[in-house]
Structure 1
Amino acid sequence: MVHGRPGRLLVGALAVLGLVGGCAGGHGSGASSASPAGGTASAAPRTSASTPGPSASAPAPGTPTAATATAPGRGASTAAGGRCHTSELRAFVGRDDPGAGQENFPVVLTNTSTRTCTVYGHPGAAFLDASGRQLGADPERSSATPPVRITLAPGRSAWAGLSFSSPEVSGARAATPVTLLVTPPDEHDPLRVRWTGGPVPVSGNASAVRLTALAAGTGP
Structure 2
Amino acid sequence: MVYTPRSARPGALLVGTVAVLGLLTACGNDSGAPSAGPATVPGTAAPARDTPTTPPSGPASSPAGSSPVSVPEAAGSPGGATASATRASTTPAAASTRCHTSELRASVGRNDPGAGQENFPVVLTNTSARTCTVRGYPGAAFVNGSGTQLGPDPKREPGTPVTVTLRPGKSAWAGLTFSNPEISGAKTARPAALVVTPPDERDPLKAAWSGGPVPVSGNSSAVRLTVLSPGTGP
TM-score normalised per structure 1:
0.63
1:157 is aligned to 171
Gaps (5+ residues) in structure 2?
1-91
Does residue 91 of the first structure (1) align with residue 106 of the second (2)? yes
Paired residue secondary structure (1:155): coil
2:53 is aligned to none
1:192 is aligned to 206
Identical counterparts, % of pairs: 70
2:232 is aligned to 218
Does residue 106 of the first structure (1) align with residue 126 of the second (2)? no
Question: What does 1:117-136 align with in structure 2 at a 5 Å threshold?
Answer: 117-136=132-151
TM-score normalised per structure 2:
0.59
Alpha-carbon distance between aligned partners in 1 of 2:160 and 2:116, rounded to the nearest angstrom: 24
Question: What does 1:163-174 align with in structure 2 at a 5 Å threshold?
Answer: 163-174=177-188
Alpha-carbon distance between aligned partners in 1 of 2:126 and 2:117, rounded to the nearest angstrom: 29
1:131 Cα shift?
A: 1.8
Paired residue secondary structure (1:168): helix
What CA deviation, in whole Å up to 9, does each residue of 1:163-187 have, x standing for no partner? 0001000000000100100000000
Alpha-carbon distance between aligned partners in 1 of 2:156 and 2:117, rounded to the nearest angstrom: 17
Question: What does 1:1-220 align with in structure 2 at a 5 Å threshold?
Answer: 82-143=97-158, 145-220=159-234
1:189 Cα shift?
A: 0.5
Alpha-carbon distance between aligned partners in 1 of 2:134 and 2:106, rounded to the nearest angstrom: 13
What CA deviation, in whole Å up to 9, does each residue of 1:2-25 have, x standing for no partner? xxxxxxxxxxxxxxxxxxxxxxxx
What CA deviation, in whole Å up to 9, does each residue of 1:118-171 have, x standing for no partner? 10000000000122110000000111x311011111111000000000100000
Alpha-carbon distance between aligned partners in 2 of 1:129 and 1:194, rounded to the nearest angstrom: 11
Partner amino acid for 1:169?
I
Alpha-carbon distance between aligned partners in 2 of 1:130 and 1:110, rounded to the nearest angstrom: 24
Alpha-carbon distance between aligned partners in 1 of 2:132 and 2:221, rounded to the nearest angstrom: 35
Alpha-carbon distance between aligned partners in 2 of 1:130 and 1:218, rounded to the nearest angstrom: 26
Q: Which has the larger radius of gyration?
A: 2
Paired residue secondary structure (1:193): strand
Alpha-carbon distance between aligned partners in 1 of 2:133 and 2:161, rounded to the nearest angstrom: 12
Partner amino acid for 1:158?
A
Count residues with an aligned counterpart.
143
Partner amino acid for 2:149?
Q
Partner amino acid for 1:204?
G
Alpha-carbon distance between aligned partners in 2 of 1:119 and 1:133, rounded to the nearest angstrom: 27
1:82 Cα shift?
A: 1.1
Structure with more of its chain in helix, by fraction: 1
Partner amino acid for 2:221?
S
1:91 Cα shift?
A: 0.7
Tell me which stretches of 4 or more aligned residues in structure 1 moved more than 6 Å: none
